[in-house]
């Protein structure tokens, strides 16, 4: 009976691990797709997306490549604030940029206002879904999320204040580099928090 119980427990653990891995990589790919939808919508990007696009404009690299490069750079800032990366952290750097560039190569350019609004709304909804999926998988935060939580612990400031300061900085920097900040950026800032909270609860239950 002990042997059977042990085998059943191992199988259950294996299934749980596979489910978490599937959840992680689905979430990361959807995050890249959501960023591509916002880019094609052309009404304004998420804060870090503004920076990635601005860097792409200046460097001639793809937006996905600048997203990955920025992720690596942000990870270097984890060292002095003593954050430890996990599988989800490294996967975030590798997967999101590839998914973003892949989606951009498939999505058509949309000029009609109704279509652009639909891309904006779909991108924001998908972004909140993706955040809920990859965070509840439990393999560690993405580079940008880890920077936020690390600085919050280091400074003792509230998470909201630290996140706001970081996102204002990256939006302004990205905009000055040529990134697209607009009404979509503002709407994203208002809506992604409640959406992420909803999906975090949904996927953790």
Q: Can you state the angle between helices 113-136 and 2-41, rounded to 10 degrees?
A: 150
CA dist 40 and 110 (Å) reads 7
Distances (CA, A) of 54 to 109, 171, 202: 19, 10, 34
Distances (CA, A) of 6 to 14, 16, 202: 12, 15, 30
Q: Would you place residue 184 in the very low, low, confident or very high pLDDT band (cuts 50, 70, 90)?
A: very high
Record the pTM. 0.89
pLDDT tens readout for residues 113-150: 999 999 999 999 999 999 999 989 999 889 998 898 88
- Spell out a b/e string for 100-119, using b for 16 or more CB atoms within 10 Å of the CB, else e: bbebbeeeeebeeeeebeeb
pLDDT tens readout for residues 26-71: 999 999 999 999 999 999 999 999 999 999 999 999 999 999 999 9
Structure tokens at 94: 């590798």
pLDDT tens readout for residues 148-177: 888 888 888 887 788 889 989 999 999 999
Hey, how many other C-beta atoms are within 10 angstroms of the C-beta on 159?
12
């Amino acid at each position: 009976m002990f042997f059977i119980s042990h085998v059943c427990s191992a199988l259950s653990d294996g299934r749980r691990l596979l489910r978490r891995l599937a959840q992680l990589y689905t979430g990361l790919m959807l995050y890249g797709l959501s960023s591509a939808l916002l880019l094609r919508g052309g009404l304004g990007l998420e804060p870090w997306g503004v920076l990635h696009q601005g860097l792409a404009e200046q460097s001639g690299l793809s937006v996905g490549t600048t997203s990955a490069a920025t992720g690596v750079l942000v990870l270097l800032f984890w060292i002095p604030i003593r954050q430890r990366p996990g599988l989800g952290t490294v996967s975030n750097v590798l997967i999101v940029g590839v998914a973003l560039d892949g989606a951009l190569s498939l999505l058509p350019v949309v000029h009609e206002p109704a279509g652009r609004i639909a891309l904006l709304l779909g991108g924001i909804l998908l972004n909140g879904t993706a955040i809920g999926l990859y965070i509840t998988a439990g393999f560690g935060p993405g580079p940008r999320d880890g920077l936020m939580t690390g600085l919050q612990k280091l400074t003792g400031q509230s998470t909201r204040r630290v996140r706001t300061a970081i996102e204002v900085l990256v939006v302004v920097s990205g905009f000055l580099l040529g990134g697209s900040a607009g009404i979509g950026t503002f709407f994203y800032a208002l809506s992604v928090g409640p959406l992420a909270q909803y999906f975090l609860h949904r996927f953790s239950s």
